[in-house]
Amino acid sequence: QLQLMESGGGSVQPGDSLRLSCDVSGATYSRVCSGWFRQIRGKEREALATIDIIGGVTYTDSVKGRFTISQDNAKNTVFLQMNSLKPEDTAMYYCAARNIGGDCSLTAAFGWWGQGTQVTVSS
C-alpha cells in the first residue's frame, strides 16, 4: 500500500513557474511507476508525465518542453517542474503510483492517488 501527498500548487501569472512535489510512503521499492495528471472541472483526467523506477520518462505532447518530471528515490519524492505556465494549465494536479507490473506508459493503470493540488494561472 502506498500513500501520496502533493504540495506546491498555487495561483500564478502566465509565464510563471511552479514546482509540484509528491511525497510517497509505503512499500518504497515496490513503486515501479509514478505519474502526474491534471483535471479541469467537467473534463476527463489527463495524463501529463510518467517516470519509472530507474528514471525513464514519458510526456504528453501538450506539456513536452515545458514540464519536467523527476524523482528522488532516496526521499521517495516525485517532482513536476512546470515552466511557461499558461491559463489553459489551470487544473487540479494529481500524482499517482503503481506498485505492480512493468507498464509505465501514459495509459498505465495507477492504483494509488494523492488528493490533488490546485494550480491556477491567470492575469
pLDDT at 30: 64
pLDDT digits (tens, 9 = 90+) for 73-99: 889 999 999 999 999 999 999 999 998
pLDDT at 28: 59
pLDDT at 100: 83
pLDDT at 99: 85
Those residues of the chain that have pLDDT short of 70 are 27-30
pLDDT at 109: 92
What's the alpha-carbon Rg for the chain, to the nearest Å?
Answer: 14
Q: Measure the CA–CA gap between 22 and 34, rounded to whole angstroms.
A: 10
The number of C-alpha atoms within 13 Å of 9 and in the hemisphere containing its C-beta is 20
